[in-house]
């Protein structure tokens, strides 16, 4: 049996562009993609922290070091420039793989540079 687990997350990146008439996708700064281990054309889940909307699209590579987070095509209706996003991918893992799995977590600064990386989410306290 396989378990679906969080594979990677880019946390609190900021939308820099929303291009309704661009071919659908989300362009992500290549530096962030590489650190998170997200592949070009991989399905991504986007959770808009600013407005609560959630949607799915695919990643395309943006220029490294540019800070670009561009929500494109119909998904541009789901995000505005300046919105905070969480971008996540999931993978299917066998029990043995799941036991050893650690997600790749990238925490972004407001200019979409890397604040820090991690491989676990801290325990939430009451």
Catalytic residues: 25, 58
- Exposure of 24 by Cβ count < 10 A (0-12 exposed, 13-18 middle, 19+ buried)? middle
Q: Would you say 89 is a known binding-site residue? A: no
Cα 116 to its chain centre, rounded Å, is 15
* Domain boundaries defined on the chain: 3-118
- Looking at residue 24, its pLDDT comes to 77
pLDDT at 52: 98
62 is in an annotated binding site: no
Provide the 8-state DSSP code for 43.
E
- Among 119, 112, 104, 102, CA closest to 26: 112
pLDDT value of position 15: 99
73 marked as binding residue:
yes
Q: Residues of 42-57 as b/e, b for ≥16 C-beta within 10 angstroms?
A: eebebebeeeeeebeb
CATH second-level architecture of 3-118? Beta Barrel (2.40)
What are the pLDDT tens digits along the chain (126 aa)?
999 999 999 999 999 999 999 987 999 999 999 999 999 999 999 999 999 999 999 999 999 999 999 999 999 999 999 999 999 999 999 999 999 999 999 999 999 999 999 999 999 999
Helix ranges restricted to H, the chain: 30-36, 95-100
pLDDT above 70 covers what percent of the chain?
Answer: 100
- Distance between CA 90 and CA 29 in Å, rounded? 20
pLDDT at 23: 85
Cβ-contact 58, 42 below 8 angstroms: yes
- pLDDT of 114: 97
Q: What's the pLDDT score for residue 77?
A: 97
Q: What is the pLDDT of residue 45?
A: 99
């Amino acid at each position: 049996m396989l378990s679906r687990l969080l594979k990677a997350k880019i946390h609190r990146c900021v939308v820099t562009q929303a291009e309704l008439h661009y071919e659908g996708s989300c362009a992500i700064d290549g530096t962030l993609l590489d650190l998170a281990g997200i592949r070009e054309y991989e399905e991504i889940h986007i959770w808009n922290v600013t407005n609560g909307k959630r949607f799915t699209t695919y990643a395309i590579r943006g220029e490294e070091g540019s800070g670009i987070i561009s929500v494109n095509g119909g998904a541009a209706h789901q995000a505005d420039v300046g919105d905070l996003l969480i971008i996540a991918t999931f993978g299917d893992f066998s029990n043995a793989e799941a036991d050893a799995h650690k997600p790749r977590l990238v925490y972004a600064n407001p200019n979409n540079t890397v604040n820090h990386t991690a491989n676990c989410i801290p325990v939430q306290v009451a």
